[in-house]
Structure 1
Amino acid sequence: MNTATAATLPANAGWFSRAEAWLDARGKGAWIAAMVVGFIFFWPVGLALLAYMIWSKRMFSKSCRHSDFRADRRARHQAAWGAMKPSGNSAFDAYKADTLRRLQEEQEQFESFLDRLRAAKDKAEFDQFMDERSDAARKARQDASLREDEDA
Structure 2
Amino acid sequence: MTPTPSVTPTMPRMGWFSRAEAWLDERGKGAWIATLILGFVFFWPVGLALLAYMIWSKRMFNSSCRSRAMAHRSSHGFKSSGNTAFDSYKADMLKRLEDEQHAFETFLERLREAKDKSEFDSFMDERAKAAKSDDA
TM-score normalised by L of structure 1: 0.47
Determine which of 40, 62, 77 is the counterpart of 2:68.
77
Structure 2 partner of 1:8: 39
Is 1:91 the counterpart of 2:85? The answer is yes
Moved over 6 A (4+): none
Structure 2 unaligned residues grouped into runs of 5+ = 1-33
Letter in 2 for 1:105: D
Structure 1 unaligned residues grouped into runs of 5+ = 25-54, 143-152
Asked which structure has the greater CA Rg, the reply is 1
Structure 2 partner of 1:133: 127
Structure 1 partner of 2:116: 122
Counterparts of 1:71 and 1:122, CA distance in 2: 33
Counterparts of 1:71 and 1:106, CA distance in 2: 25
> For residues 65-94 of structure 1, what are the alpha-carbon distances to aligned partners after superposition, in whole Å with 9 as ceiling and x for unaligned?
x4x557922x11333326344322122012
Percent identity at matched positions? 43
**Larger helix percent:** 1
Counterparts of 2:97 and 2:70, CA distance in 1: 17
Aligned length: 95
TM-score normalised by L of structure 2: 0.52
Superposition pairs for residues 21-32 of structure 1, below 5 Å? none
Higher relative CO (Cα under 8 Å, sequence separation at least 6) belongs to 2
